[in-house]
Structure 1
Amino acid sequence: MFSVDGCLHRYCFSCMKQHVEVKLLQGVVVKCPHEGCKNEVNIDSYGKFLAPKVIKKVSQRIKEASIPVTEKVYCPFPRCSALMSKSEVLEYSKNAYVGAKQPGARKCIKCHYYFCINCKVPWHHNMTCSDYKRSNPYPCTEDAKLKSLVKKNQWRQCVKCNHMIELAEGCYHMRCRCGYEFCYTCGAEWKNKKATCSCPIWTERNIIYTRREVRQRRG
């Protein structure tokens, strides 16, 4: 049996494993499954029933939840994408020469490359943000390819952090990793856990699987 720190509610390891995995899919911080209990499950105890890869995801969720939406910054380099707060990355960058000369320049705390916090792109030396945007509508070939894929696959871009989101399955109520919630169909914001549009919340093809598909997923 697993005992939740603080409240001491007890559950079997199998149930706790499923509970944590579901909360991760929902993109929320894991709390005690007991009804009405608000105690967070201590990440140090996850090793008793979760694989290291899943524990890493939980750590990311906890950090994301601890940073307000307006303060979140993601490294624009695809191989990094580290999450930082604006104050955290500013403190890390303030002693760098390029940061002292150019207010928009920041240095990623993980990969240590410079990026522009205003444009959300790798740092553009000797160019203002306006000049950069005019001369680089698609900063690199990969961005042009991405735009083509977005249109082809009908992906959505979060208006808060600019990350692309693809709906693989489930309802059209989307919650980006930055915390912003919106309708996948039209992009309208969700406020107070309610839709601000009249789009249908789900379609059968995204919710129900055939028996063959279920067997394939389990296999």
Structure 2
Amino acid sequence: MVPKCPHEGCKNELLAESCRKFLPHKLIETMQQRKVEASIPVTEKIYCPYPRCSALMSKTEVLEYSKNVIGAQKQCIKCRGFFCFICKVPWHNGMTCHAYKKLNPNPPAEDLKLKSLATRSLWRQCVKCNHMIELAEGCYHMTCRCGYEFCYQCGAGWKDKKATCSCPLWAEEYLVRGT
């Protein structure tokens, strides 16, 4: 999330430039990166599939950058690596998406490791955008950064600020920080 002014009642965003005098350079970079991330709608976000890059781009940006490239093959705007816009993997040269998926039915090892970590850590995945969410404290009513609201216990959506499931609203161990 983009940082907001800590003064009570103020809703203004903190600008990285105005914080440069008292924050470390690394934190300023993080603030600037978060601003870029927040500016791209969830449905527009696409990541470079190359692990050494993983650049965040918007679909519009990728399509414009790769306008001279035909079909599903697109190019990362940062590392210039070619990837499949449909499969979200490095370019599968000479192979249709259907053939690629048939030859590679299992997710990559990195995805399996993340799923295993998420299971062990009791993380949940937003059903709308697939973003991983961890309940550190508070109730089971989650609001994902994409705006989707759901129950952390069972994943059922919320409507009009009300649960559509019969799960408890909270567990005491999550209500107080550090317990």
- Common topology (TM > 0.5): yes
Please tell me whether the aligned partners of residues 2 and 13 of structure 2 are also in contact (alpha carbons under 8 angstroms). Answer: no
TM-score (norm 1): 0.63
Distance 2:26 2:111 in 1: 29
Between the aligned partners of 1:157 and 1:120, the Cα distance in structure 2 is 19
State the Cα distance separating 1:147 from its structure 2 match.
3.7
Partner of residue 72 from structure 2, selected from 101, 104, 114: 104
Q: How many Å separate the matches in 2 of 1:123 and 1:158?
A: 27
Aligned twin of 1:57? 30
Q: Percent identity?
A: 56
Q: Distance in 1 between matches of 2:14 and 2:28?
A: 12
Pairs within 5 Å for 1:1-219: 27-31=1-5, 33=7, 35=9, 37-95=10-68, 99-100=69-70, 103-163=71-131, 165-167=132-134, 169-171=136-138, 172-176=140-144, 180-190=148-158, 194=161, 196-198=163-165, 199-209=167-177
Name structure 2 gaps, 5 residues minimum. none
- The AA in structure 2 aligned to 1:170 is E
What is the TM-score with the length of structure 2 in the denominator? 0.75
C-alpha RMSD of matched pairs (Å)? 3.1
Q: CA deviation at 1:138?
A: 1.9
Greater helix share, structure number = 1
- Residues 74/126 of structure 1: CA separation in 2 closer, same or farther (3 Å cut): same
Matched length: 177
How far does residue 45 in structure 1 lie from its aligned partner after superposition? Answer: 0.8
Once the two structures are TM-superposed, the CA of residue 87 in structure 1 deviates from its matched residue by 0.9
Q: Is contact 1:72-1:85 (8 Å) kept? A: yes
* Secondary structure class of the residue paired with 2:74: strand
**Distance change (3 Å), C-alpha of 1:48 and 1:173:** farther
Q: Give the conservation status (yes or no) of the 8 Å contact 1:76–1:122.
A: yes
